[in-house]
Amino acid sequence: MSFLDTPFAIAAEFGAWLVEGILWTARLITGGQAAPGIISAGLLFLLAVLSVWHVLATRNFCRAANWLADILKPASVDAGEKRVTALRLFKIEERIREAHHGIHYTRLKTAWEEFRETTIEPDDDHSPLRNTERPSVFFAREELGLESGIWRQIPALFVSVGLFLTFLGLVAALDQTSEILRTSGGAASEGLRTLLNVASAKFIMSLTGLLCSILFTLVLRWRANATNGVLHDLCAELERGCQYVSEQWLGHERLTQAKEQTAHLQTLSTELVAQIARPLREMPTALRESIAEAMAPAMERVAATTGEGIESLAGNVSGQLAGGVRDAVTEMNEAVGQVASQLQAVAQRLDESSSEMGGQVSAAVEALSNQINTLGAAMAASSETATQTLNDGSEALIEQMNEALQAIRAETTAGAQGIDQASARMADAIGNAASTTQQNLLQPMNVLLEQVQTLTSQVEAAAERFGQYAEALQGGIGVARSASEELGQSAQHLAAAASPVRGAADRIESATRSMTQNVNKTASTMLNSARETSRQTEAVLRETRNAITASQTAATKSLDSLHAAVKEFQRVLENYDKIDGQLGDAFQSIEGSVHANIEEISNFNRKLNDEFGRALRQLETVIAQAEPFEPRQET
């Protein structure tokens, strides 16, 4: 005996013991005619118990689903509002939190909470609740646990139990038949009869299992239809109460908001341009008015000061010139009167001694003519010099004033147009004053020239008259010498008379110089006021530019905030797309697992049917082989 005999012996002993156990169980089932009936009754009783249990479970689920659907339905006071608004949502949440304690209520509450995670809160009291996923995704049979457990496998279990009992009975019947045939050959017919009876009884158990499977399948289908109807009503109520946010709806909303935003931006830009353009249009007028208002007092003071200074200057100059000319003419008249009286005396003496003084008088007349011509030339030169000096002074004064006015006009033109008008008015006033001054200066000089010309003509007339007495005055050389001395004195008197004119010209020059200084002061004052006005204008323009820059900055900030809001909205949409993709992947995974489970169950049913068919064929083969067997009876 080798060491391998012991394990084989143990295995053989265990196999024999297992066979005896199976045969004992089979004999227990086939111990009497009532055993198959009892087992069939037990299967039917189990079918009834399981059916009632399943009906009660599904009825509880239907009651819970109807309870949730009743909560979602609008009340009588809210019959006109079918949507789930903010107020109704608060009431629904409160009633769901007060749910009954039970497995189905808990699962429905969990499904509702998961559904609420994919919804969008209402914007106001009248806006509906928006959902991004269909309610059927959360309120499905798989999610609510209706497909879990062994309810779907019970029909197959009934069939399997029936087949198991059938084959177990067949094993017992075959064993009994073999025992009968082995012990007594004459009991073969009785053994065959026993085999057939046992086989028929075992087929009864198999048929009972099949019947239970069919009936329970019908019960499952009936209750599945009931639960599906309740879930369909619940999902339909949710669909009616919520507004589904689809991709098409989001695209339409984005298009509508983009159009509204475009319209708002156009309105904003139009109003912004109008608001910015209005101050810009009003700015030149306001600047002109402000410059005019600011310059008006200064221009009035400058005009008043200039007018007073020019009037006082012209008055002083004209007064001094008129006084000096008047004094000079008076002295000249006195001197000429003295000369005339002396000439008359000389004429009388010449008449008395005309014969003696003929030749001498001629020489004296020539000398006198030369002296008179020299005196006339000197007087003409002095008058021309005074006139030229006055003209040069007036022209220089006018040129300086014009240059000052042109400089002021050139500086103030760049600041505002109102200064040009004021400068033009001041230039006209100064020009009028200059012309008035020139007239006041030149008119006395013209009068003086006329008087000098009259005196010259009188002297020439006297010279002609003296020419008539030339022959008679040839002998009066001594008298002519004395007359020439007197004429020299007259020339000195005339020179003395011309000295006030020179003084008047000097005074005119000094007055012109002081007037030039006053004009320079006035021009500097106007220049300073123009510079101050330019600085004020620059400050106003700077403030305006700052206001425009602030407006542009505010508009830029508004556009940046709008761009940020658009980017945030795009980011939310991208998150929605990601969530949609993840939910789609999860649904595909669940669908794949469900299909795999269904395929496994189908394969199991197919294999079970194949095994059952193969067993039936084997049984038919056994029965077919048993029919032609006829035991012979010995006589």
Identify whether 549 is part of a domain: no
Q: For residue 133, is it within any domain?
A: yes
211 and 351 both lie in a single domain: no
Q: Are residues 489 and 429 in the same domain?
A: yes
Residue 109: domain span: 21-245
Return the minimum-mean-pLDDT range out of 218-222, 303-307, 478-482, 540-544. Answer: 478-482
If we measure between CA atoms, which residue out of 98, 82, 78, 121 comes closest to residue 238?
A: 82
Boundary residue ending a domain (543, 572, 596): 543
The answer on pLDDT for 142 being more than 70 is yes
Which residues lie below 8 Å from residue 507, measured CB to CB, with a gap of 6+? 317, 320, 321, 324
How much is the pLDDT for 379? 46
pLDDT band at 130 (very low <50, low <70, confident <90, very high): confident
Residue 49 confidence class, pLDDT cut points 50, 70, 90: very high
Q: What is the DSSP string of 134-181?
A: -HHHHSSTTTTTSS-SSTTTHHHHHHHHHHHHHHHHHHHHHHHHHHHH
Q: Determine the pLDDT at residue 26.
A: 64
Q: Are residues 300 and 225 in the same domain?
A: no
- Residue-wise pLDDT for 59-110, tens only, equals 888 888 888 888 887 765 454 567 777 777 777 877 877 767 777 788 888 8
Of residues 197 and 281, which shows the higher confidence score? 281
One domain, residues 208 and 312: no
- Encode 211-256 in three state secondary structure: HHHHHHHHHHHHHHHHHHHHHHHHHHHHHHHEEECCHHHHHHHHHH
Q: How many domains does the chain contain in total? A: 2
Last residue of a domain, one of 543, 567, 593: 543
Q: Identify which has the larger pLDDT, 6 or 223.
A: 223
Condensed to tens digits (0 to 9), the pLDDT of residues 568-609 reads 667 766 765 676 677 667 667 767 766 776 777 677 767 767
Residue 387 pLDDT level (bands cut at 50, 70, 90): very low
Decide if pLDDT at 502 tops 50. yes
Instruction: From 521, 543, 565, give the residue that closes a domain.
Output: 543
Q: Are 427 and 542 in contact (CB under 8 A)?
A: no
| Residue 219 Cα to chain centre, angstroms | 67
Q: Encode pLDDT of 418-474 as tens digits.
A: 544 544 554 464 455 445 544 554 454 455 456 545 655 654 555 465 455 445 445
Q: Which two tokens stand for residue 614?
A: 């193969």
Q: 189 and 310 in one domain?
A: no
Q: Are residue 369 and residue 494 in the same domain, yes or no?
A: yes
